């Protein structure tokens, strides 16, 4: 998955913003290995049928392209 995004530098800023948006509150005060937030688990279940799903690299790239195209005023 990392190589799929690594080959698309135009998506790097979008990936950083998305990663920041997914971080839980007080993330610095938690274990280094943390579980996914409830929202992420919900999204995985609605998209893939299970909350333990791991999105494919193609799905991540498609999502980042969609997120990049989404107007900032609506985020």
Which structural domain range is residue 46 located in? 2-23+33-74
Q: Is 49 left (phi over 0), alpha (psi -120 to 50) or beta?
A: left
28 lies in some domain: no
pLDDT tens by residue, 16-69: 888 877 776 666 666 544 566 787 888 889 999 998 888 898 998 998 898 888
Total number of domains constituting the chain = 1
61 lies in some domain: yes
56 lies in some domain: yes
Has residue 1 got a pLDDT over 80? no
Q: pTM for this one?
A: 0.53
Rounded distance between C-alpha atoms, residue 60 and residue 51, angstroms: 16
Rounded distance between C-alpha atoms, residue 48 and residue 54, angstroms: 9
Rounded distance between C-alpha atoms, residue 38 and residue 33, angstroms: 15
State residue 17's pLDDT score: 84
């Amino acid at each position: 998955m990392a190589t799929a995004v690594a080959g698309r530098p135009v998506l790097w800023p979008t990936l950083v913003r998305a990663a920041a948006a997914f971080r839980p509150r007080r993330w610095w005060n938690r274990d280094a290995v943390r579980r996914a937030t409830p929202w992420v688990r919900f999204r995985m279940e609605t998209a893939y049928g299970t909350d333990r799903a791991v999105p494919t690299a193609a799905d991540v790239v498609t999502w980042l392209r969609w997120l990049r195209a989404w107007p900032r005023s609506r985020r």
